[in-house]
Amino acid sequence: MRRAILSATFVAGFCFLTVGALADPAGPATGASTAPAPASNSPDPNEVICHSEQQIGSLFPRRTCHTRREWDEMRRNSQDYIRDIQAHGGLLPPATAGGN
């Protein structure tokens, strides 16, 4: 029971940090390209976006870079995991076939 609560707290903290990094008021740093983005309604899923994340216990932020598609997938996975925890009354969801 205690492990489930600690795990849920960790995941919630991770989601909080991820959302905070995505809402960076300075705006995301893009990859090496300095050319203006093509005029299009949908953003490029292969655009590299970097975020600086403050690490607990360190004075220096850690820079993490992923493509837009990877950031979206990580956000969806976090949201799905929290949704599963909430659906099971705050307990960890049952293990999947490939998990422990």
Q: Could you tell me the residue ranges of all domains in the chain? A: 1-26+68-92
pLDDT for res 92: 75
pLDDT for res 4: 53
pLDDT at 11 over 70: no
Phi, psi of 25 (to 5 degrees): -65, -20
Selection from 51, 48, 44 nearest residue 25 by Cα? 51
Residue range 24-78, pLDDT digits in tens? 444 444 444 455 555 667 889 999 999 999 999 999 999 999 999 999 999 999 9
